[in-house]
A and B are shown apart, each in its own frame.
Chain A
């Protein structure tokens, strides 16, 4: 199993540009989520999904869109990048039951200038 994969690993955007961060998992996990990690802020949940076709907002959803058309893929779209979105983004997945652990991807380091 490849686990959770994320692409790209690094990205630099100009303010106003849009892009999609890719996330895929091959473990047939129902639950997937996106976090951003900023210094001193811990992990903050952006969006999550409990299965294909179902998504919901987390703590900091503004400026981001998600979709879940398949069990495997959960892309995160930045609609119009802003410097405040400079961060490290992690995708995670888990079996549907909350007492299972999450598996995290390696992260995407995004800089918006």
Chain B
């Protein structure tokens, strides 16, 4: 079956530091990959996505590249802000095999200090 593994948190950084949150996956088909962000007290919202190998998703300074050879979709940002403090979820949806159920990682909490 499908699975998503992301690094455990919390990740604690100072403002303007470089961020990487690792995400690797296993999938039976050819999945689309997503990063969602959850701010305190809110639901998840899409941060970025990529639907085929070597695609780069980007939004709000965050980037992630779909690496089929390493089955990875690591999230990066060059300079984090206090407002980026949130929980980040890596997820996949498989476009083959008829599965409708997305698979989520456990989430990684990011805390950014001024």
Contact = CB atoms under 8 A, between A and B. Distances in A.
Q: Do A and B come from one complex?
A: yes
Interface of A: 4, 31, 33, 40-43, 45, 48, 50, 58, 90, 92, 94, 96-107
A102 B104 CA distance: 12
B43 A98 contact: no
Interface of B: 31-32, 34, 36, 42-46, 49, 51, 89, 93-95, 99-102, 104-107
B106 A107 contact: no
Nearest to A40: B106
A43 B44 CA distance: 10
Given A42-B107, A98-B32, A99-B51, A104 B45 contact: yes
Nearest to A58: B101
Given A92-B43, A96-B100, A102-B102, 4 more contacts: A42-B106, A99-B32, A101-B34, A107-B43
Contacts, number: 57
A68 B42 CA distance: 25
Contacts of A102: 36, 44, 46, 102
Nearest to B103: A45
B95 A99 contact: yes
A106 B45 CA distance: 10
A106 B42 contact: yes
A90 B100 CA distance: 17
Nearest to A96: B100
A13 to B, nearest CB: 21
Contacts of A4: 43
A20 B105 CA distance: 28
Contacts of B106: 40-42
Nearest to B46: A101
A98 B95 contact: yes
Contacts of A98: 31-32, 93-95, 99-100, 102
B51 to A, nearest CB: 5
A43 B104 contact: yes
Contact of B43 (A90, A96, A99): A90
